[in-house]
Structure 1
Amino acid sequence: MFTGGQSFVSAPPTFSNDGKKLLVCTGFTVSIFSTSTGMQIAELEGHTDRVTSIVVVPVAAPASKFMDYCWTSSLDGMICYWDFSVPELIKKVKVELPIFSMVIPNISNASIGSGNKSSTLYAFVSVEDKTKPDDQHKALRGQIRIYNLTSSRRVGGLLAETRNPEHIIVSRSGEFIGIKNKRKLHVWRIPEDFKPDEIKKIKLHHTKNLSALAFHPTERMVAGGDVTGRILIWRGFGMKKFTETLRESRGRPKLDEDRPGVRGNDDADSCSTWHWHPSEIKFLLFSSDGAYLYSGGQEGVIVVWQLDTGKRKYKPRLGSPLLYFVDSPDPSLSCVSCADNQIHILKMPTMEITKSIAGIKLPFSFPDVYDGLHKEFAYDQSNGLIALRTEDYCVQFFSLFDNSEVSQVQVCERNFQPVDDPTVCVALVALSSDGFLMCTVDVKLPEERLGSLVSLKFWTRGLRVGEYSLSTVIYEPHSDAGISAVCFHPGQSMAVSSSFGGDFKVWVHSSVSRLRDQKHEKAGWRCQSVGSYKRKPMTAAAFSADGSVLAVAAETVITLWDPDTNILVAVIGEALSPISKLSFVGKSEYLVSLSRSSKPQVALWNTSNLSMYWSYKLFAEAVCCAGNAPQFAILALSSSQNDIAVRDQEGIILLFDVENPVPLTTWLVKKAKGGGLAFVTKDQSLLVNGYEDNARGEPSLLAYINSDHEYIVFDPHNEDGRIGKSARRSQAPPEEAVPIGYTSIYGELPKIESNKGTDWDIPFVPSERPWETIFSGSSHVLPPLTKLCSTFLASLLEKRPPIADES
């Protein structure tokens, strides 16, 4: 089995020493991406919980500039040392408490290739003390501790205790570290050869809660951002407490009355305030030369402040709230992490986006558009893609096997305005069995109960997988009622939409335009027929495997229809509560239904004798069927869906065969509330001891995606669920060899092929189109410009035969 869908923005990324690699915390692993291609090239596996920090070891000698080492921390309480060029785990340091942040201040003094083998590395970690009760109102669960990485043991006492673990920031020189704690900044000075009892601390106060901080690279200056969007810059901090060891001090500390903007007895020369952001500041970062300050937050705009003048420049239209901004050892590169799980690599100083690393879209809160509408996913089973609705009115197609974004389809146009409430919601997404057709339902939310608009849109796939073009738009397909479900016919260009208003409609596609009743009828989707049953709300719909039967749920009753003639064929007995999901099990005559109300039920129906075969009282989230095989899987919750703590709710996956009410296999999962299931197919060569669908001859793998959009793909018919590591495709080709010596300066020499051993030579033949080659070559070997111009102009003139003299 393998996993995917991890967040790329749970922690700040880190550049390698040469700026050619970007190390990203992705769940339990560290993913390494190429900054030139934006593709994953390696992965560090060894932690058993979420990775929270990455510290790359700098290099100090030219001979070691191609060595790549780093330290990582994790919530599993381990600090690991890696050679990520191999990659290989070298060392582990046990902390025994979840680590939320880690810095190594004087790591440059013991860097690779420095020759200082007697240097000792100390890691400052922000941990959570789980021995204290989390329900206690004022319990100080956050702690700052020091660990000796050389001897793998803890040293000294606690540097600080906070209500929750805080993120630690270190200065570029490694001399200072700091954290934000409510309305205060805590700053420590770390000497090069320090002892734990020699570390000194100061506090800087503010009137609002602080959300970000940054140290100036060369001067005694620290910046803090608060939740209201203000930036405070303290200059000359620590001039009193740190003055006896201050190397850059110029004169005595200033008197209290000469400290403009400084609150109380804070140890700083001055404090100035800047304000542009209307909401909380997420990151602050000084440029490497110290001339500029970068800030960002909810607005999706990078603001560049000039320190001397306070003037601003902007990088707008990033389309999502910003979380982190990280610079690179290469001054021409930096990156910004966005809340939509994207990392943009920027070319400095223009901040042009050169590459984007896009992960799966993170969950967000959907508006309550319709009662009973469930947040489900759509699957392109043949291509292993999942289709997710996004907050910016798009549908993202994400490859489960590549763990990468394939495309985004913009359903509705939207300009990113973080302060505005959403006005449109993509309510439903449905895909045909071959993935060639897509249907979306978007709803314009009413303003003061007026102006609601439902749009049904049909899309056709282009030449590439995941790329769709809009075919037909149908406004208010069911009058003013909401759409409960959409499904496609397995073999025809036919779709069905069911409505809470009490009807369902059969839509067919006309591929050619024609004249009808002296009117020109355009190609597209049109309504073929309308059906209803006792005016009950139609809550779910599904086609049989061959498309000959259409099942539509009329609240607690299942109605069976002939989709071509729209004739009611039969009605199956009632369920305990309104049915929210229907699905035919393979090519069998069985139909499975889910009811998610206060009386939950999972039922299997036999359409041949129109009776219930068996049922369970389960709070089920999702159901999926295994292609043409007579099996299906159910995702069930361990308790009621109305529980308060449902985010991390435990769940269970049950695999059934239609002939047996006892599950074949079960798996326990986490974060099941809001999750989904799907059977996907993969090449036979990539399956290890897999199950083959007898009808199609294809292996069936089961994919489970949880409420955080993390997923796992496994073989449900293998005892341990393994499908082999080769199932995930290679994300990127091997990296090119790094040029060294003469090649790194002047480039590679042209390859000259020797003609020795041949008994013939190719003569030089002048080209009949000399203008294509006369300007090619190095400038120092080209002929003079006067000769080139005459040749070029002559080549453009049309040559005529000489005229004979008649005289």
Structure 2
Amino acid sequence: MIRGGKSYVTSPPAFSNDGKKLLVCTAETVSVFSTSTGLQITSLEGHTALVTTVIVVPAWNPASKILCFCWTASLDGTIRYWDFAAPELMKTIDVKIPIISMVIPSILVQPSMESEKRPDLFAYLSTEDVKESKEEGNALRRQIRKCNLSKSRLVGLILGEVKQQVVLTVSPSAKYFGLKNKCKLQIWKVPAKDSDNAIVKKISLHHTKKISVLAFHPNQRIVAAGDVTGRILIWRLFGDKTFSKNGEKNERPMDTGEEKPGVRGDDDADSCSTWHWHPAEVNVLSFSSDGAYLYSGGKEGVLVVWQLDTGKKKFLPRIGSPLLYFIDSPDPSLSSICCADNQIHLLKMPSMEILRTISGIKAPSSYHEMYKGLNNGVAFDHTAGLVALRTENYCIQLYSLFDDRGVSEVQVCERNHQPGDDVMVVVTLVALSFDGSVMSTAEIKLAEEGIGGLICLKFWTSGFQNKEFSLLTIVYEPHRDAAISAIAFHPSGHMAVSSSYGGDFKVWVCNNDNQKDQMLQNSSWTCHSVGSYKKKPMTAAAFSADGSVLAVAAETVITLWNPDKNVLLAVIGETLMPIVTLSFIGKSEYLVAASWGSKPQLSVWSMSKLSAAWSYRLQIEAVATAVDLSSFAALALLPESSNETTFQERDGLILLFNAKDAVPVATWSAKKAKGGALAFIQTNQSSTEEIGRDGTPPRALLAYVNGDHEYVLFDPYNKDVQELSISHKEIHATPEETGRARQFGYASIYGELPQFDLKRTDTSWTPSFPSERPWETIFSGSSHNLPPLTKLCLPFLESLLEKRTAAVE
């Protein structure tokens, strides 16, 4: 069974010590990606619930080879210690309470070489005790606890209680950690010599609005917080009274006669200043490693860099999705930002250029019900194992089900997307040809006050070496002002049909179908014929396996046509409610139809007898058929009454039928079936290993994509449903990954220089040529970001010289 489509952005990721790997919390696992390729290297598997925290152990002595250890925490109530290079689980601590967040301040401080005995390692946890809440009703069940990692036990001390789930934030100096609690910050000071009974002091800083995020300065007593209105507050010298007792030296002389500007009430801080640029809630706050800059971001999808001393700012605009996290890397030339659309962008610093993107599957679009068809904006490439999904930013995402990663994106509508804006364009339909080389989309530009509405039908083509689609044809108002109900492709891919609620359907043909091996740049799609039946709305369409018959649903009846001659062959039906999907089964001996409405129905029709074979009164969400199989699968929604008793939060059933028999061959319960999709995916040796009972791969896997775009692929004919192992493409390590742990000088800031190899003889699919003047952009950037010439001169000159090794006689 292949699972995928999990979120990469439920929790902040973490860089390895050399900056060459990124550890990402992915549901119950931690996925390890290469920062040089953006591809997954390995994963840490062992947790049984959502992983909420991953913390990489710093390597203070690179010679000790301690470069690849991390701590993880999960809702399963365990803390685990890993060697993520192996990967191997080293230690498990069961605290028996779901862990929302975890910080380990003491690992951020370089251990002292003087002490012979290593002190105990302590973690501070944000926990949620579900059992306690059920027994005590309204009792507080979310607590801040302390755990002795060295002795694998919780400390009895409870540092605080809150009414909501909170995330802990630790300062880079390891002296403080804190959390946001409604309109205030709560900050604890980590004891200098931590122990089970050590006293942990706490202060609170208040604000008038709800606080959404906080960040600590790396080396000064400064804390920043963002609120829901878009403001950023910066408290300086917080805790100067509370935390500076017992002989600790104050950072400023005590002056009780002077008022504290911007500080509310008796809050323990020297001053509080406010910045405001963001128009909505601030989700991201992070200080640079040297503390000179503050990074912020939010719903508008813009990363802002503030100069802390002056308040001046610069921007990385048009990211296209709300920002969630900003993570610095030990490599000063690399950072990452996580976005709400399940993408992680790796940035080249300080220019903030996006180097590459780790693309997860995007969340479903929040469209109105009237724009959702039975396919829920999902289409499948049955031969390559790809799925096409509608996204919020007027795009279609192509996602690999076998590799669990994004392949490409198609910008359907050339329109700047601003998160939070009113949706004025809706991509209503997406369809792929059987081999995935041709795509068709339908979009609606919504009318404003009854003026300006427009419907477009578009045809796209892609090369066979990649899935980068290019636009071929745009058809404005293909069915006058009526909306398009369905799009279906001929098995050859050079003919398509679009049906409309206006009472007609149109057959489209590609006028250049002979140049199959070329990018059909000069091709176009034209209307071949138009058909209708008694002016009824045409609600669904499908081609037979050989393309000789076209079935079009005229509301409650099914009409059969010759697509080449546009001749009506037969009419079968009738159903009680409008038909919303049609699909031929196997060699087109049967036709399956699904109806929506107050009396939903799943019906199977015999093409030889032109009559109904059998039917069920079921609410069908999706139907999947395969060309070479005489069976089909249907995703049925369960009544709400049955969900409460038998199926335990599972709202759907996947039913596998043989077309000749009304009794299901197999059934599986499913979660989040509303908005789900089904498809049979062809398999081969390159995608799966031998797993079948006879030692061969199954002919087809059944893919189920649920309403949250999480998916599973399995062999529907294997009752054991054995695990499918994926055969990933070989990932070659780059020289940077096998070389030094860190880079210094010129390369660490600007990257490696282009290499000119005159003896190069190998070729590639995409030829690349070095720039004739590569030195023009070397020193581009803001002046305050550039290091002095005295530091750049030596690495710059060394990069121009060829190093040779000479044998010493």
- For normalisation by structure 1, the TM-score amounts to 0.86
Aligned to 1:732: 731
Alpha carbons of structure 1 residues 447 and 664: separation in structure 2 relative to 1, 3 Å: same
Aligned counterparts of 2:60 and 2:742: Cα–Cα separation in 1:
22
Task: Rate the CA distance shift 1:56–1:548 in 2: closer, same or farther, 3 A.
Answer: same
Q: For the residues of structure 1 that align with 2:799 and 2:478, how far apart are their CA atoms?
A: 65
Q: Which residue of 1 aligns with 2:278?
A: 277
| Counterpart in the other structure of 2:24 | 24
Alignment of 1:80-159 (within 5 A): 80-109=80-109, 118-131=118-131, 140-159=140-159
Equivalent runs, 1:71-470 vs 2, <5 Å:
71-109=71-109, 118-131=118-131, 140-195=140-195, 196=197, 198-245=199-246, 247-255=248-256, 257-368=258-369, 370=371, 375-470=376-471
Q: Which amino acid aligns with 2:692?
A: G
Q: Displacement, 1:629?
A: 0.8
Q: What residue number does 1:608 align with?
A: 608
Determine the C-alpha separation between the residues in 2 that align with 1:335 and 1:743: 18
Deviations, residues 399-430 of structure 1 (Å, cap 9, x unaligned): 11111111111111122323421221111011
- Amino acid in the other structure paired with 1:690: G
* Distance in 2, Cα, partners of 1:742 & 1:481: 61
Runs of 5+ unmatched residues, structure 2: 515-521, 748-797, 805-809
| Shift in Å, 1:740 | 6.0
Deviations 1:37-90 (A, max 9, x none): 222111111111221110111122232245310000112221111000111011
Shift in CA distance, 741/248, structure 1 to aligned 2, threshold 3 Å: same
Q: Which residue of structure 1 aligns with residue 782 of structure 2? A: none
Distance (Å, rounded) in 2 between the aligned partners of 1:448 and 1:119: 70
Letter in 2 for 1:455: C
Q: How far apart in 1 are the matches of 2:327 and 2:673?
A: 34
Cα offset, 1:481, TM superposition: 0.7
Distance 1:30 1:71 in 2: 11
Counterpart Cα distance in 2 of 1:746 and 1:292: 21
State the shift of 1:240 in Å.
1.6
Change (3 A) 1:716 1:170: same
Q: Is the 8 A contact 2:442 2:455 kept in 1?
A: yes
Q: Measure, in 2, the Cα distance between the counterparts of 1:781 and 1:56.
A: 36
CA 1:463–1:649: 2 relative to 1, 3 Å: same
For residues 341-740 of structure 1, the aligned pairs below 5 Å read: 341-368=342-369, 370=371, 375-491=376-492, 493-511=494-512, 524-639=524-639, 649-684=650-685, 686-690=688-692, 699-722=699-722, 724-725=724-725, 727-730=726-729, 732-734=731-733, 738-739=738-739
Indicate conservation of the 8 Å contact 1:138/1:163, yes or no: no
Provide the rounded CA distance (Å) in 2 between the counterparts of 1:781 and 1:365: 58
* Structure 1 counterpart of 2:472, one-letter code: S
Q: Does the aligned pair in 1 maintain the 2:386–2:399 contact within 8 Å?
A: yes
Q: CA deviation at 1:641?
A: 11
Distance in 1 between residues matched to 2:319 and 2:113, nearest whole Å: 40
In 2, Cα distance between equivalents of 1:274 and 1:683? 57
Aligned-partner SS, 1:478: strand
Q: Distance in 2 between matches of 1:376 and 1:145?
A: 45
Shift of 1:573: 2.1
Q: Tell me by how many angstroms 1:716 deviates.
A: 1.3
Indicate the SS of the match to 1:106: helix
- The code of the aligned residue for 1:449 comes to G
How far apart are residue 657 of structure 1 and its match? 1.1
Decide whether the 8 Å contact of 1:168 with 1:177 is kept in 2: yes
- Quick one: which amino acid aligns to residue 319 of structure 2? L
Residue type at the aligned position of 1:451: G
Change over 3 Å in CA distance of 1:255–1:731 after alignment to 2: farther
**1-structure distance, mates of 2:268, 2:629:** 73
The percentage of aligned residue pairs carrying the same residue is: 56
- Three-state SS of the structure 1 residue aligned to 2:398 is strand
Shift of 1:598: 2.3
- Give, in whole Å, the separation in 2 of the partners of 1:321 and 1:15: 22
Preserved contact between residue 375 and residue 622 of structure 2 (Cα < 8 Å): no
- State the alpha-carbon separation in 2 of the partners of residues 407 and 667 from structure 1: 32
2:122·2:194 contact (CA, 8 Å) conserved in 1? no
Larger Rg: 1
Does structure 1 retain, via aligned residues, the 8 Å contact 2:613–2:660? no
2:53 corresponds to: 53
**Aligned partners of 2:50 and 2:75 also within 8 Å:** yes
* SS of aligned partner of 1:243: coil
Give me the whole-angstrom Cα distance separating, in 2, the residues matched to 1:445 and 1:27: 37
Deviations 1:69-121 (A, max 9, x none): 00001122211110001110111111222222111111235869998653211
Moved more, 368-377 or 418-427: 368-377
The amino acid that maps onto 2:329 is S
How far apart, CA to CA, are the structure 2 residues paired with 1:668 and 1:197? 51
| Shift in Å, 1:730 | 3.4
- Give the AA of the match of 2:35: T
Cα deviation, residue 339, structure 1 = 1.4
| Structure 1 residue 690, shift from structure 2 partner | 3.0
Q: 1:743 & 1:706 partners in 2: Cα distance?
A: 44
Counterpart Cα distance in 2 of 1:628 and 1:84:
43
What 5-or-longer segments of structure 1 have no aligned partner? 514-521, 748-775, 783-807
What's the offset of the Cα at 1:129?
A: 2.3
TM-aligned CA deviation for residue 463 of structure 1:
4.0
CA contact (8 A) 1:140 1:164 kept: no
Q: Is the 8 A contact 1:506 1:529 kept in 2?
A: yes
Preserved contact between residue 542 and residue 552 of structure 1 (Cα < 8 Å): yes
Deviation at 1:330, TM superposition (A): 1.7
C-alpha distance after superposition, 1:625-668 (max 9, x if no partner)? 12311011111222259999x99653221111112211111222
Task: Give secondary structure in 2 for the equivalent of 1:249.
Answer: coil
8 Å CA contact retained: 1:619, 1:640: no
Task: Give the Cα–Cα distance (whole angstroms) in 1 for the partners of residues 114 and 467 of structure 2.
Answer: 50
After alignment, is 331-340 or 175-184 more displaced? 331-340
CA RMSD of aligned residues (A): 3.2
Q: How many equivalent pairs are there?
A: 743
Specify the alignment match of 2:39 in structure 1.
39
**Cα deviations across residues 362-386 of structure 1 (Å, max 9, x unaligned)?**
2230145548675231000111110
CA gap of 1:161–1:731, structure 2 versus 1, over 3 A, is farther
Distance of aligned partners of 1:781 and 1:662 in 2 relative to their CA distance in 1, 3 Å threshold: closer
Cα distance in 1, alignment partners of residues 156 and 90 from structure 2: 26
Asked whether the equivalents of residues 110 and 117 of structure 1 are also in contact (C-alpha less than 8 Å), the reply is no
Residue type of the partner of 2:256?
L
Structure 2 contact 377–428 (Cα < 8 Å) conserved: no
Kindly tell me: are residues 731 and 326 of structure 1, through their superposed partners in 2, closer, same or farther at Cα, counting changes over 3 Å? farther
SS in 1 for 2:618: coil
Deviations 1:444-480 (A, max 9, x none): 1111222110000111222433122211111001111
Shift of 1:125: 1.4
- SS of aligned partner of 1:318: coil
Are the equivalent residues in 1 in contact too, given 2:508–2:527 (CA < 8 A)?
yes
Aligned equivalent of 2:766: none
Change (3 A) 1:193 1:128: same
Distance 1:693 1:526, change over 3 A: farther
Query: Structure 1 residue 361: deviation in Å?
Result: 1.4
SS at match of 2:701: strand
Does the residue aligned with 1:535 lie in a helix, a strand or coil?
A: coil
Indicate the SS of the match to 2:245: helix
Pick which of 406-415 and 176-185 moved more.
Answer: 406-415
